[in-house]
Amino acid sequence: MKVRRIPAHALFITVVVALIIGVICSMLILGAYNNLRFETDLGKIQVLDRNLQSAIDLVLSDTSLIAGPKQKVLNLFGDGKDSAYVKADRWGLLSFANIKVSAGNKENSRAFFLGRQAPPGMRLCLYLAEHQTPLSMVGEARLAGNASLPKGGIRPAFIDGRGYAYTDFLKGQETHSNDTLPLIDERLLQSVAELSDLPGSGNSQQQPIPDTINRSFADTAFVLVSKGPVQLGANCLKGHILIRSDSSIVVSRDTRLENVILVAPVIKIDSGFCGNLQAIATQRIQVGNNCRFSYPSALILLKQIKTTEQPTISIGDSCGISGTILTYTFKADDLARTKVELGKGCHVEGLVYTSGYLFLQGKVRGTVLADYLSYKTSTTVYLNYVVDAVIDRNSLSPYFLGPPIFSNTEQNRVMAWLN
């Protein structure tokens, strides 16, 4: 029998075709595998996103976060298959939550500050406590929004020959105030007051603060305690960081702060500073000119019961503050109540609560609560006078969120996302 020989070139073509077919089959199998893995990963991502949003919704529905720190696992849908780890705690006036979910070998997490809208009764431009002194308006002073005022109401007045520039006093409804300011939530007040007693690393005055710290809110707080003055220069400090001094903290214009808490009897912030912080003092907060405090910052002054001196927040000219200014006098009959001085051209967005005397210049887009509104010249201090200042609640965004200053049942919302 004669065997037919296959030409060399035909054999070569056959081998090449077989190799090509093999490669194509391998690519199809690999593509199918990658597609399956992609679909699996995409499914995991979708599950993570769904679980993360569900966990966020559950945390926002919890109105008890102000009561203290929490660490727990949430059963998201009641079937035991989907869960989330939640760490939540107070941070100065604010509360934060860090949520972590996982699916297979993938994880996702988010951290955020919680905030609330003001309760309906506090959506005012001005609450001026009843101390048997009417409110006097001079120059370009304006009030826009509902107001709760002394029974004496509002009247025009003259200072140095200047009268009131308008015919109406208030663009809103007027009600009568009480002789005390609306109460601050006691748990929140106590948690802020306790910060000055936090344990820490005990660093001395000579041991420098690191040039750069970026601390996640998923981690424990970095707490630095100094037995002496603290001077911040070109430091960049971000995140879950608390710095406390038993005497004073000075912040330069070159300092970069983000979500940091400073605690000291005296806190001084140099002119030109820009950043985000909570400053908590017991004697004085002094802010220079042209400073910018981004949302949600807070300047907090707490007068201790035993001291007889008048604590003061002094804010220079042309400053911008988005957040909260809060002073509190613990002793109800204290004669040397706290004092807040806002310089010319200052703009505040949010809440100003002064348990004492507020010297107001510039503009507040939000709500002012004070025992007294004051104005001073080189020779005289006028009580319950507003001169050329503007308080405008109507121009504040209806979605603006603040810390839960007042006890209320308003829904928690995400105030700001954290790294």
Average pLDDT, the chain: 87
> What is the residue type of 205?
Q
What percent of the chain clears pLDDT 70, i.e. is strictly above it?
A: 84
Rounded to 10 degrees, the C-alpha dihedral 128/133/134/136 comes to -90
Structure tokens of 8?
Answer: 């060399």
Count the Cβ atoms, other than its own, within 10 Å of residue 131: 14
Structure tokens of 137?
Answer: 């308006």
* pLDDT, position 64: 64
As a whole number of angstroms, the distance between CA 267 and CA 277 comes to 12
* pLDDT, position 205: 43
Preceding peptide of 296 cis, ω within 30°: yes
What length does the chain have? Answer: 419
What are the residue ranges in the chain where pLDDT is below 70?
A: 1-12, 15-16, 31-45, 63-70, 72-82, 104-105, 197-207, 409
Within 8 A by CB and 6+ apart from 400, the residues are 117, 349, 350, 366
Reported as a single tens digit per residue, the pLDDT across 209-263 is 889 999 999 999 999 988 899 999 999 999 999 999 999 999 999 999 999 999 9
DSSP category for residue 333:
T
Reported as a single tens digit per residue, the pLDDT across 322-340 is 999 999 998 878 888 999 9
As a whole number of angstroms, the distance between CA 87 and CA 97 comes to 6
* pLDDT, position 204: 41
